[in-house]
């Protein structure tokens, strides 16, 4: 059985930067480890202060899922990066 989940992410800077980006990953809990079931493309905006991504992903029911968002900005020769991991959600069979 399958269902759908929506994952989204937003990167923002306090000012316009040379590049700002985000990549989203959806993971499934197998009972012993987290495995990647979906990874978005790297999305980057030039000369902006924010970027947003939103995806609907088909998943198998009866499992826990979480998303990981990887964010970065570049200004001149400086690059800053960060990762955010959500809590998990269970997709029931019914």
The encoded tokens of residue 9 equal 């992410």
Q: Which domain holds residue 75?
A: 2-91
CATH of the domain at 51: 2.60.40.3930
Residue 1 has pLDDT above 80, yes or no: no
pTM passes above 0.85:
yes
pLDDT in the model for residue 46: 83
**Number of domains, the chain:** 1
Q: What is the mean pLDDT of residues 54-83?
A: 95
Residue 90: which pLDDT band, with cuts at 50, 70 and 90?
very high
- Of 80, 56, 83, the closest CA to residue 68 belongs to 83
């Amino acid at each position: 059985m399958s269902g759908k989940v929506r994952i989204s992410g937003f990167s923002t800077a306090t000012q316009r930067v040379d590049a700002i980006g985000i990549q989203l990953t959806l993971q499934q809990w197998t009972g012993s480890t987290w495995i990647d079931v979906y990874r978005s493309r790297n999305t980057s905006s030039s000369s902006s202060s924010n970027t947003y991504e939103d995806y609907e992903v088909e998943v198998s029911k009866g499992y826990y899922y979480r998303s990981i968002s990887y964010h970065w900005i570049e200004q001149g020769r400086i690059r800053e990066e960060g990762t955010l991991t959500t809590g998990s959600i269970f997709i029931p069979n019914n």
